[in-house]
Structure 1
Amino acid sequence: MLLGLDPLLTPDLLHALASAGHGDRIAIVDANFPAAANARRLIRLPGADAAAGLRAILSVLPIDDFEPDPALVMEVVGDPAATPEAVTDFSRLLRGAGAVPPRAVPRHDFYALAREAFAVVATGERRLYGNILLTKGVVR
């Protein structure tokens, strides 16, 4: 055990977050997301919801402030203006970390971006649309 770290920050997750460079993306995905089929590096947090995973990751990961949309979520299919409950939670957590709220992208665009992500963190999130992509920033 280490002092001061969220217990969701497993050794595999910490290694991935530390190994990622500025501009690399980390996907945090829900239980419905085809993570194994879309991940270059897959880290599982099966007992955690996506908001808890995001909270833990934001405690150690700087969010990019060079680009306008460092956080992306998946649009609701058939209702792109809708804001799912999980996305409301993500927005609150990002604001608390001093980052901008996420921008929604179409489902298949999100899948394509997740396939290119440095790592995919598969959570046990059961709420629909509990998926977010983060772009790593720099430590000043």
Structure 2
Amino acid sequence: MGKLKGIPHILSPDILHLLAVTGHGDEIVLADINFPTHTICNGSDRPKEYRADGVGIPALLDAILTLMPLDAYVENPVQLMDLTDGDKTKGFQVPVWDEYRKICDKHESAPVSFEKVERFEFYERAKKVYAIIHTGETAAYANILLKRGVC
């Protein structure tokens, strides 16, 4: 496969196709290594599973947002899997969320609102997205849902 100008090299042809066929309001999940992607995608009315094994979510998010805008017409075009109550009590920190903020700010013209979604509710929402990209991300609570905007 030849390299295209301006296309981040970590985006596979399948992921490029995914970005090309999605439209305004479509949602995709970038899933960490522990996310039950195959289970959620198993079924005829479920999201399509894509693989980006060995790729971290921050790098993939940066590459995707180079090509795909977030939805400026909704309050929270980005949703994160929230900490469990036990991890909140322990003061668990999720530094990858700060990376996501910097990446979104770099690519979007206005600040992007993030919504934190309870773990099992996040799984339910994931069942209704267009696609899930399973990554090699090892950071805890790294799962992120993106709502596509318009160019």
Fold equivalence (TM over 0.5): yes
Hey, what does 2:38 align to over in structure 1? 36
Q: How many residues align?
A: 139
Aligned to 2:38, the other structure's residue is in SS state helix
Q: Which moved more, 1:83-92 or 1:128-137?
A: 83-92
Residue from 67, 72, 89 that aligns with 1:65? 72
Q: Is the 8 A contact 1:95 1:101 kept in 2?
A: no
Runs of 4+ residues deviating >6 angstroms: none
Q: Is the 8 A contact 2:79 2:114 kept in 1?
A: yes
Identity percentage over the alignment? 33
Q: Gaps (5+ residues) in structure 1?
A: none
Residue type at the aligned position of 2:148: K
Q: Alpha carbons of 1:83 and 1:67: their partners in 2 closer, same or farther (altered >3 Å)? A: farther
Hey, what does 2:82 align to over in structure 1? 75
Matches within 5 A, 1:116-135: 116-135=128-147
Q: Gaps (5+ residues) in structure 2?
A: 42-46
Residue from 86, 94, 98 that aligns with 2:96? 86
Q: Quote the offset at 1:101 in angstroms.
A: 3.9
Under a length normalisation based on structure 1, what TM-score does the superposition of the two structures give? Answer: 0.93
Q: Quote the offset at 1:5 in angstroms.
A: 0.8
Cα distance in 2 between the residues matched to 1:6 and 1:44: 16
Residue type at the aligned position of 1:24: D
Under a length normalisation based on structure 2, what TM-score does the superposition of the two structures give? Answer: 0.87
Largest Rg, 1 or 2: 2
Hey, what does 1:55 align to over in structure 2? 62
